[in-house]
Structure 1
Amino acid sequence: MANSSDSSASKLQLRDLPGDYGLPLFGAIKDRYDFHYNQGTDGFFRSRMQNYQSTVYRANVPPGPFNAPKSKAIVLVDAVSFTVLFDNSKVDKKNFFDGTFMPSTDFTGGYRLCPFLDTSEPKHATIKGFFLSTLAKLHNRFIPLFLSSMSELFTNLEHELSNKGEAYFNTISDNMTFDFIFRLLCENKSPSETSLGSDGPTFLNKWVFFQLAPLITLGLKYVPNFIEDLVLHTFPLPFCPLKSDYKKIFDAFYNSMGSILDEAEKIGVKRDEACHNFIFLAGFNSYGGNKVFFPALIKWVGAAGESLHRRLVDEIRTIVKEEGGVTLSALNKMSLTKSVVYETLRIEPPVPFQTAKAREDIVINSHDSSFLIKKDEIIFGYQPLATKDPKIFDNPEEFIGDRFMGDGEKLIEYVYWSNGKESDDPTVNDKQCPGKNLVVLLGRLLLVEFFLRYDTFDIEYGKLLLGSKVSFKSVTKATS
């Protein structure tokens, strides 16, 4: 039996796992309704944690019951137990990405792509290694390309504010993100120069939605819950309505990624398989992740108010002036800016769920107990509670911009948004997001460019199917 504890944790009492799965079929349906309608996602996990007085417990998780027995899971909601999901010697992630289910390979050209491969599968190291080497080769283009895309974002933001009195940030941000990632992978070609035109974000939004539908609650006012549940959560949504859209996405990338696909063939990866993998990296990981992350970043910074804005303005403008521009060296000196990005990823992680299967019998530890998980049992981590663990973070529900400055920097390891510790870097032997460092860099760049241009801003915000919706009400242009 493997043991995930260290010498001090080995003294913890071994407890029976609390919780149960209820009656066959009906228990899964009840928990699904609690998750989507009766309690909501956060309430679902929080109420069971409080009821069982444990941060490790049994529950049916979405989408069940069509996905049974994988919906019967052991749930982890604390920062200590959660890390077993990163230990690939103990857990198997074959066909797990964002939940307990895997969408049809029809959505990905008939291939099981890298995110759904376990680290034990030889092709995983080949493809992830290719992702990492490609991003390394492109690193000199990250900053200039993103700054170019940001320039258009500001133009659109100010235009909407002038014409409408408010600017809906999510759409502007989505367009900017897609433009950047397409240009990065496609030799600086604009998506408007391809058959996609301006439709790339729209096509990707539908493609992501159809794959994540079992986890999504629409909450439509005039649609009864049982109708929505029947349509979205009972059977996987079919690929056929998206076939034409996805072909346009594939053709645009395939015809524009010549040098990258040439390199893929040299390492033995078929050209079309490599393209589908990069579409997933671009469309799901990068575009889909930043679709949640960028509005969250603006929301939390906006809600923090002018005091934080002034501190960011002072840091950013002082260091950019000293360094002679927006450079990687300048960014690395901006400790408050970095901390704000980490705090956003902590309090509202773009990917809330992590799933795996135990390779063997393992003992995991929470802060105060140990638990036995049997071989082949499903382990399901709910990250927004794990990264708000009150035994790790003071005032965990509060956004504190300078949380990770000074002595607080040591807490960065407990930021888990990338399917790994923030203090670690992705390798071919793990499932950590290959673009993890790029996402953090882009978040910092977004703040830097914003506060070079504006002194402060006002927003309104609310909830979307995935993440937050943010509208600018005003911006105050820089006065110095």
Structure 2
Amino acid sequence: MALLHDSDKPSSSSGILPLKEIPGDYGLPFFGPIKDRLDFYYRQGKDEYFRARMKKYNSTVYRVNSPPGPFNAKDSKVIVLLDAVSFPILFDTSKVEKKNVFIGTYMPSTHFTGGYRVCAYLDPSESKHETLKALLLTLLDKLHKKLIPSFRDSVTQLFIDLETELDNNGEASFNPISDKMSFDFLFRLFGNKSSYDTTVGGTGNTSLDRWLLFQLAPLVTLGLKYLPNCVEDLLLHTFPLPYFVVKSGYEKVHDAFHDAIKDLIDEAEEEGVGRDEASHNLMFLTGFNAYGGTKVLFPALLKYVGTGGVDLHRRLADEIRTIVKDEGTVTLAALEKMSLAKSVVWEALRIEPPVQFQYAKAKEDITITSHDSSYVIKKGETICGYQPFATKDPKIFTNPEGFVPDRFVGEGEKLIKYVYWSNGRESNDPTANDKQCPAKDMVVLLSRMMLVEFFLRYDTFSVEVGQLLLGSSVTFKSVTKAI
């Protein structure tokens, strides 16, 4: 796929981009944020909310209120970025602050994380950030060799459950089966034992689901089939949901996880991190970052591959089986050789990123550029990037709305620097001094593993897709086993 703009700083014909005032407004105090919130959740929906204002102002950079506001947020006023060129300012922690903006303009109570501000909510300028992020990166690096065998052990049960449900019901809902597998895999990876061998059994993921929902509730909508809009808005978007409702479930999972990862906690203590704080940070990494990510990513991946058709399935199966046969088994080296499988994963991350929003506050007056203009963001102003638009920028990607399996094959791999799902460029690696997801490489590897394990077993499959509170729903209608 051709790259139309191969520069992060496109220039006008004169060589200097015109400096413009940032368009848009926030409406009347109190009422403006409420109007925008109703547009965002009920009248327009997320995509149309941003698209309509982009057309109105003829700009991919403008001012708007970011939901939920105004009650959950100290300040709902943001400058939104919708193109691939302006978006990366959100990663430059020398110019922007990332304190307490991990999921938006509000932060859930620290009761959800054992009373600690975990690493995800810390800015790199805070002294504890580097210590915690370095610890997480070191531990993930040590677990790297366990990824493939641990995943293969857990994913076997996924296929058993999938086939059993298909045989019994004529269809199988992939999401709950995938969630159950993901939770058990992560428990095996970090704790060296199956979750089924602990007090949480095989249902620990349901406790994490509620824990996730109560933190993310201000960002979701249930739809009229559950509650009238006015009632839902009052319940979900007006006040944060209380921790005590999910406390017992979280503590049950955390206690079992804490017991299983004692060796990791010992290492953290040696690095100067308190045992309890290390435990809750690792729980957040596992339960929110990793489990929450796979909860969205695996269904999205199977959704696009499933609807991609028989020819795509044949090509993936041929590539995967040939390379695995040549290597003798599934290895990291084998995964790296699978150019089509790699491209399919990046394309799924591009078109339906597991994290849709990125936020930051300007540390100083900064000048940003879009494709055709430049703008000044004042110190203290909040910046909001809506990633599904930035990674579907038509001036970067041809056929941006379409799922193109081989988009990142060959020369196309240069385009991965415009895939931003991890709070950084896909071409970059996370460090202790930035806010890129520490589990970035693990998530990509697991996605490739899902494709490999799937096409080692099946030739083709058909799915029906829909929408859930967090991401896509996938229902398998058929699978054809490999001969």
**Shared fold by TM > 0.5?**
yes
Match of 1:412 in 2: 416
Q: Does 2:360 align with 1:353?
A: no
Q: CA 1:222 to 1:454, structure 2 compared with 1: closer, same or farther past 3 Å? A: closer
How far apart, in 1, do the equivalents of 2:276 and 2:200 lie? 18
Work out whether 1:175 is the aligned partner of 2:174.
no
Counterpart position of 1:45: 50
Q: Which residue does 2:70 correspond to in 1?
A: 65
Give the secondary structure class of the aligned counterpart of 1:202.
helix
Alignment partner of 2:220 out of 194, 206, 216: 216
Q: Specify the SS of the correspondent of 2:477.
A: strand
- State whether structure 2 residue 127 is matched by structure 1 residue 128: no
Amino acid at match of 1:60: N
Alpha-carbon separation, structure 2, partners of 1:63 and 1:403: 35
Instruction: Give, in angstroms, the shift of residue 70 of structure 1.
Output: 2.2
1:420-431 superposed matches below 5 A: 420-431=424-435
Equivalent of 2:253 in 233, 249, 259: 249
Deviation at 1:8, TM superposition (A): 4.8
Q: Percent identity?
A: 66
Is 2:333 aligned against 1:329?
yes
Cα offset, 1:190, TM superposition: 1.4
Shift of 1:30: 0.4
2:212 counterpart of 1:198: no
Per-residue CA deviations over 1:339-380 (Å, capped at 9, x if unaligned) read: 000000000000000000000000000000000100000000
Mark the CA change 1:20 to 1:7 in structure 2 (over 3 Å): closer, same or farther: closer
Q: 2:229 aligns with which of 199, 203, 225?
A: 225
| Cα 1:236/1:75, change in 2 over 3 Å | same
- Shift of the alpha carbon at 1:414? 0.3
Deviation at 1:323, TM superposition (A): 1.1
Q: 1:24 aligns with which of 29, 47, 51?
A: 29
Whether 1:162 aligns to 2:161 is: no
Cα contact 2:9–2:371 (8 A) shared by 1? no
1:83 is aligned to 2:85:
no
Compare 218-227 and 244-253 and name the one that shifted more: 218-227
Partner residue in 1 for 2:17: 12
Secondary structure of the 1:379 match is: strand
Uncovered stretches (5+) of structure 1, i.e. residues with no partner = none
- Deviations along 1:271-328, whole A, 9 cap, x unmatched? 0100100110000000001000000000000011101111101111111111111111
Question: RMSD across aligned C-alpha pairs, in angstroms?
Answer: 1.1
Q: Which moved more, 1:6-15 or 1:456-465?
A: 6-15
1:373 maps to amino acid:
I
- Is residue 362 of structure 1 aligned with residue 369 of structure 2? no
- TM superposition shift of 1:50: 1.1
Q: Residues 38 and 360 of structure 1: is their aligned pair in 2 closer, same or farther, counting only changes over 3 Å? A: same
Q: Aligned AA for 1:164?
A: N
Which one-letter code corresponds to 1:20 in the other structure? D
State how far apart, in whole Å, the 1-side matches of 2:353 and 2:309 are: 21
* Pairing of 1:94-109 with structure 2 (within 5 A): 94-109=99-114
1:206-226 Cα offsets, whole Å, 9 max, x none, are 000000011000003252211
2:294 equivalent to 1:286: no
What is aligned with 1:296?
Answer: 300
| Long gaps (5+) in structure 2 | 1-7
> Structure 1: how far apart are the matches of 2:75 and 2:413?
37
Corresponding residue number in structure 2 for 1:475: 479
| Alpha-carbon shift at residue 198 of structure 1 (Å) | 2.1
> 2: distance between equivalents of 1:133 and 1:17?
42
Superposed CA deviations along residues 76-95 of structure 1, whole A, max 9, x for unmatched, are 01000000000000100000
Correspondent of 1:265 among 263, 269, 285: 269
Please state if 1:385 is matched with 2:389: yes
Shift of 1:199: 2.2
Counterpart in the other structure of 2:5: none
CA distance in 1, matches of 2:177, 2:16: 53
Q: Which moved more, 1:68-77 or 1:323-332?
A: 68-77
2:4 corresponds in structure 1 to: none
Query: Hey, what's the Cα distance between the residues in 2 that align with 1:7 and 1:444?
Result: 33
The verdict on how the C-alpha distance between 1:364 and 1:203 changes in structure 2, with shifts beyond 3 A counting, is same
Q: Displacement, 1:415?
A: 0.4
> What is the CA deviation profile of residues 157-189 of structure 1, one whole-angstrom value per residue up to 9, with x for unaligned ones?
111111111111001100110001111111x21
What is the letter of the counterpart of residue 414 of structure 1? Y
Matching residue of 1:54: 59
